[in-house]
Structure 1
Amino acid sequence: MQARSAVSTTISAVLAQYLPGSRGKRGFLLVVAASLLLVLSAKTQVPFWPVPQTMQTFAVMVLPMILGRRLGMAAVALYLFEGAVGFPVFAGTPERGIGIAYMVGPTGGYLVGFLIAACLIGGLAQKGWDRNPVTAAAAMAMGLLCIYGPGLVWLTGFVGVNKAIELGLQPFLFADLAKVILAALLLPGLWKLLSITGFDAAHR
């Protein structure tokens, strides 16, 4: 069985002290909680240039770093399932964010990219890339490519190449790169905090 990321193991070990049931049940709770964080991140807007941004790509990058590949992908898949069955989990107004029709619309490629990014980032985190700011940033930058790649290809089918870049890349790229830097700086700090508490050494 593949090893989880060290942070995921730490969180599970801590939860084991407070939550009844098997490791599988605790993993399920982590996946559900992470999917809810994805919903919250999609609905959270922050002012930025040139347009306001949600924190969704930040969450998509950070959660697989914390949970590892298996649980990270499961969290994103659950989030997508919640949207597919009609819950208003996606960015935008509820009317724009419900159901399969939204998922196969112009921004549907980015949703597929979320799952690909979770697979890549979570896998690299399990190899220790989350322990250093440079490698963490590199992993998340590659994750961004996994999001923008299918997103732009899909959007091109609706509006053409030039418009896809103008609407689907340029307004968001600078902010997403800033999120990469923020997340890369945050993760090693989290590791230091866990190390101080003793959880890192005990449950790695």
Structure 2
Amino acid sequence: MTSTSRIAPTLAHAIWPAAGGLAALPRALVLMLAGTFVLAISAKVQVPFWPVPVTLQSLAVLVIGMSFGLRLGTATLALYLVQGAIGLPVFASGAGLAYLAGPTAGYLFGFVAAAALVGWLAERGWDRTIWLSMAAMTLGTLVLMGSGVAWLATLIGFEQAIASGFTPFIVGGLLKIVLGALMLPSVWKLIERR
């Protein structure tokens, strides 16, 4: 379904359909906690890569956003930031309110915006084909990186922010976009066969 006017079910809904009213709350809490656990693990995993090592965190953000949809995906990423703000070790390194004002703050807040965007697109069927998934994940990555670079530029200047906060991550970002875009439609195909 690629219609922009109708909301398509998300992967989370297809795998674990939501009940109505207050009965949906336990499901939402379980999914949010599972999502923040995946995010915390993905932040700690560093993959040796060129020109810099990459974490799987942005891939996790995009997959969670697209799998959960706009509201649940946004809430999950917001919970992740709250967990880090109160000192839980969910970020790549460090925690606390000061961490949310440091050089990576723009990326962290960009996670929420990126998850919201790709979640909204997934609810319009953009997670069903490789090309639409790739387009959604590219847009989500641009939002995430744009937010990160914009904040970093206030600390070190625009040129330096691009040089240290964007350029080294292009190749890894493209690889994660392709990986995510292959993953989501494949899961949908498995669900449809079931």
Same fold (TM over 0.5): yes
Match of 1:36?
Answer: 37
Structure 1 position 23, deviation (Å): 2.1
**Equivalent residue in structure 2 for 1:149, among 146, 150, 160:** 146
The reply on whether 1:111 has 2:108 as its aligned counterpart is yes
> Are the aligned partners of 1:5 and 1:66 in contact in 2 as well (CA < 8 Å)?
no
**Equivalent residue in structure 1 for 2:178, among 172, 176, 181:** 181
Q: Give deviations 1:8-46, integer Å, cap 9, x for gaps.
A: 212223x98xxxx92221111111100111101101111
> Are the aligned partners of 1:37 and 1:59 in contact in 2 as well (CA < 8 Å)?
yes
Secondary structure class of the residue paired with 2:52: coil
Cα distance in 2 for partners of 1:11, 1:75 equals 17
> Are the aligned partners of 1:35 and 1:76 in contact in 2 as well (CA < 8 Å)?
yes
The reply on whether 1:24 has 2:28 as its aligned counterpart is no
Identity of aligned residues (%): 46
Secondary structure class of the residue paired with 1:131: coil
Cα distance in 2 for partners of 1:42, 1:6 equals 24
Match of 1:6?
Answer: 10
Q: Normalising by the residue count of structure 1, what TM-score does the alignment of the two structures yield?
A: 0.87
Cα distance in 1 for partners of 2:23, 2:11 equals 18
Give the AA of the match of 1:8: A
Cα distance in 1 for partners of 2:161, 2:61 equals 22
Cα gap change, 1:145/1:24 in structure 2, threshold over 3 Å: closer, same or farther? same
> Are the aligned partners of 1:136 and 1:184 in contact in 2 as well (CA < 8 Å)?
yes
Structure 1 position 106, deviation (Å): 1.2
> Are the aligned partners of 2:8 and 2:125 in contact in 1 as well (CA < 8 Å)?
no
Q: Give deviations 1:67-97, integer Å, cap 9, x for gaps.
A: 11111011101100000001111113xxxx1
> What stretches of structure 1 move > 4 A for 4+ residues in a row?
none
Cα distance in 2 for partners of 1:171, 1:147 equals 15
**Equivalent residue in structure 2 for 1:192, among 178, 189, 193:** 189
Secondary structure class of the residue paired with 2:97: helix
Q: Give deviations 1:92-133, integer Å, cap 9, x for gaps.
A: 3xxxx1111111011111111111101100000000000011
Structure 1 position 3, deviation (Å): 4.8
Secondary structure class of the residue paired with 1:76: helix
Give the AA of the match of 1:143: G
Match of 1:200?
Answer: none
Q: How many residues align?
A: 187
Secondary structure class of the residue paired with 1:40: helix
Match of 2:133?
Answer: 136
Extract unaligned runs of 5+ from structure 1.
198-204
Structure 1 position 4, deviation (Å): 6.4
Q: Give the CA RMSD over aligned residues.
A: 1.7
Match of 1:75?
Answer: 76
